[in-house]
Homo-oligomer: A and B are copies of this chain.
Amino acid sequence: MQKPSIPKGTRDFSPSEIRRRNFIFNIIKSKFQKFGFSPIETPSIENLSTLTGKYGSEGDQLLFKILKRGAKFTKALENYSKEKTSDNSFSSEALRYDLTVPFARYIVQHQNDISFPFKRYQIQPVWRADRPQRGRYREFYQCDADIVGTSSLNCEIELICLISEVLNELNLSDHTIMINNRKILSALIDHCNSSMYFSKITVIIDKLDKIGVDKVIQELQESIPIKECSLLFKELFNVNYSDTNIFNWLENKLENNDEGQKGLKELNHIVNLSKELGIDNLEFNISLARGLDYYTGSIFEVVLNNSSMGSIVGGGRYDNLTEVFGQKDLSGVGISFGAERIYDIMNDFNLFPNDLDSPPKYMIVDQSDSAINGLKLLNYLRSKNIDSILYPDNIKLKKQIKYAHLNKIPFVLFINKDFELDMSIELKNMDTGDQNECDISTLN
């Protein structure tokens, strides 16, 4: 006998959990559609070569790889006995790690069927063999909206409006949308001659909100062997904090850096127009860096103001993501809703409507040998589109009533003994306990 269990970091979802999850997915989906995004889906399994090298070396480690089968597996084993091999010879396919890279693969593969700019949304699970913890699972849904085939900043602005609409509809209006631009970060890092450490530096400064200025500077001093680096960021973080002060400092510091100037201009444009459109919770955050390698312009993250849950939306612009699949000059920008974290938060704060579980209205009890009359009544009710069930077994009445009670079914219908003759039934109101004869034609 096996004790039933599921793999670490995965979850079963009960009916009421599914209904709550669908509440979130449906809101996100309807807003995506309202904003002109079209749905696509891609396979759970991608060729390994599609995925590797896109998420940094740490990401590659977290891929769920599919074991080769049959002769291919045997061959991998044989090769191993000849020479040391990596685990890649045992696998040529893996579960997708996010929805962005499969989407980039999709648009290159189907470019002739797509009219650009292409606005797509995709709501599907992804898999990461990360260490599970609260809010982090090994199988989880992403809800992505991307616009590809244009570098217009109007797309960033639209995405900001979209984030706002979705979160307000979910009763999560107390949030902050943080924005930064990789071009500014890149120019800053270039300014202190540390470009070769770009990834390392962004990972460190991304921790600012968690560990504070002093520890970030200390880490930069310890990890980056170029002194100007920690000095520059120390100077930056000591600027008296306000969007305007930081912005002016950057304008000044990067005045001869084209990329930096471009980043600042982009950022400025997006922030100003968004404000004009009524978005009042957009904040420039120079320490926002994002973990993924493919971002090249605007980057976003959204946090709830009174929660330690971390970001619930993330995204950014990528200029070169399709290049590796053979299509240059196709800029895109997208956001991804962290539906799992949103779900956990909404559960914690009791933000789901109470009426998501809608049980059948009637449960029929037929205590005859053949329940043909119960089945007929059931058919009749369903033909009227009234959700109903028939208790399937002819067991003790008490047990049947208990079942109706547990399942929150408001009314029970009893098939009377003389049903064949006079169609007589009785209706029990589970709330009041009242039970009376009832005419079938009055049921609705």
Q: Which residues of A contact B (CB under 8 A)?
A: 1-7, 10-15, 18-19, 22, 33-36, 38-47, 49-50, 61, 64-67, 69-70, 73, 77, 80-81, 87, 90-91, 93, 95, 105-106, 108-110, 113, 115, 117, 119-120, 125, 127, 129, 138-139, 147, 150, 152, 154-155, 157-158, 161, 165, 269, 273, 276-278, 324-326, 360, 370-372, 374-376, 378-379, 382, 385, 387-394, 403, 406-407
Contact A43 B12 (CB under 8 A): yes
A90-B67, A392-B117 are contacts. A4–B50 as well, Cβ < 8 Å? yes
- Given contact pairs A12-B40, A18-B40, A277-B375, a sample of 14 additional A-B residue pairs in the complex whose CB atoms are under 8 Å apart: A2-B324, A4-B108, A5-B47, A6-B43, A12-B109, A13-B42, A15-B40, A18-B38, A44-B125, A61-B70, A65-B67, A66-B66, A119-B389, A165-B382
- Interchain residue pairs A-B with the least CB separation, the first 8: A10-B43, A15-B38, A152-B392, A36-B389, A65-B67, A4-B109, A18-B39, A115-B406
Contact A1 B325 (CB under 8 A): yes
What distance in Å separates the Cβ of A161 from its nearest Cβ neighbour in chain B?
Answer: 7
Contact A10 B372 (CB under 8 A): no
Which residues of B lie under 8 Å from residue A120 when comparing CB positions? 15
Which residues of B lie under 8 Å from residue A19 when comparing CB positions? 39
Which residues of B lie under 8 Å from residue A393 when comparing CB positions? 117, 150, 152
Cα-based distance from A40 to B20 in the complex (angstroms): 11
Which residues of B lie under 8 Å from residue A14 when comparing CB positions? 40, 110, 113
Contact A5 B392 (CB under 8 A): no
What distance in Å separates the Cβ of A91 from its nearest Cβ neighbour in chain B?
Answer: 5
Query: Which residue of B61, B127, B155, B325 is within 8 Å of A2 (Cβ)?
Result: B325
What distance in Å separates the Cβ of A401 from its nearest Cβ neighbour in chain B?
Answer: 12
Q: Which residue of B lies closest to A15 (CB)?
A: B38
Q: Which residue of B lies closest to A111 (CB)?
A: B4
> How often does this chain occur in the complex, in copies?
2
Cα-based distance from A324 to B1 in the complex (angstroms): 5
What distance in Å separates the Cβ of A267 from its nearest Cβ neighbour in chain B?
Answer: 15
Cα-based distance from A212 to B282 in the complex (angstroms): 71
Q: Which residue of B lies closest to A402 (CB)?
A: B115
What distance in Å separates the Cβ of A148 from its nearest Cβ neighbour in chain B?
Answer: 11
Which residues of B lie under 8 Å from residue A326 when comparing CB positions? 1-4
Cα-based distance from A275 to B67 in the complex (angstroms): 49
Which residues of B lie under 8 Å from residue A165 when comparing CB positions? 382
Contact A47 B7 (CB under 8 A): yes
Cα-based distance from A56 to B273 in the complex (angstroms): 62
A4-B105, A406-B115 are contacts. A375–B325 as well, Cβ < 8 Å? no
Cα-based distance from A12 to B69 in the complex (angstroms): 23
Query: Which residue of B50, B61, B90, B385 is within 8 Å of A34 (Cβ)?
Result: B385
Contact B41 A12 (CB under 8 A): yes
Contact A382 B12 (CB under 8 A): no
Contact A39 B67 (CB under 8 A): no
A10-B45, A18-B39, A45-B139 are contacts. A4–B325 as well, Cβ < 8 Å? yes
Cα-based distance from A80 to B44 in the complex (angstroms): 30
Cα-based distance from A407 to B37 in the complex (angstroms): 12
Cα-based distance from A388 to B161 in the complex (angstroms): 14
Query: Which residue of B87, B385, B391 is within 8 Å of A73 (Cβ)?
Result: B87
Which residues of B lie under 8 Å from residue A1 when comparing CB positions? 324-326
Which residues of B lie under 8 Å from residue A147 when comparing CB positions? 392
A80-B77, A150-B393 are contacts. A91–B67 as well, Cβ < 8 Å? yes
What distance in Å separates the Cβ of A55 from its nearest Cβ neighbour in chain B?
Answer: 15
Contact A273 B47 (CB under 8 A): no
What distance in Å separates the Cβ of A438 from its nearest Cβ neighbour in chain B?
Answer: 20
Q: Which residue of B lies closest to A62 (CB)?
A: B69
Which residues of B lie under 8 Å from residue A276 when comparing CB positions? 372, 376
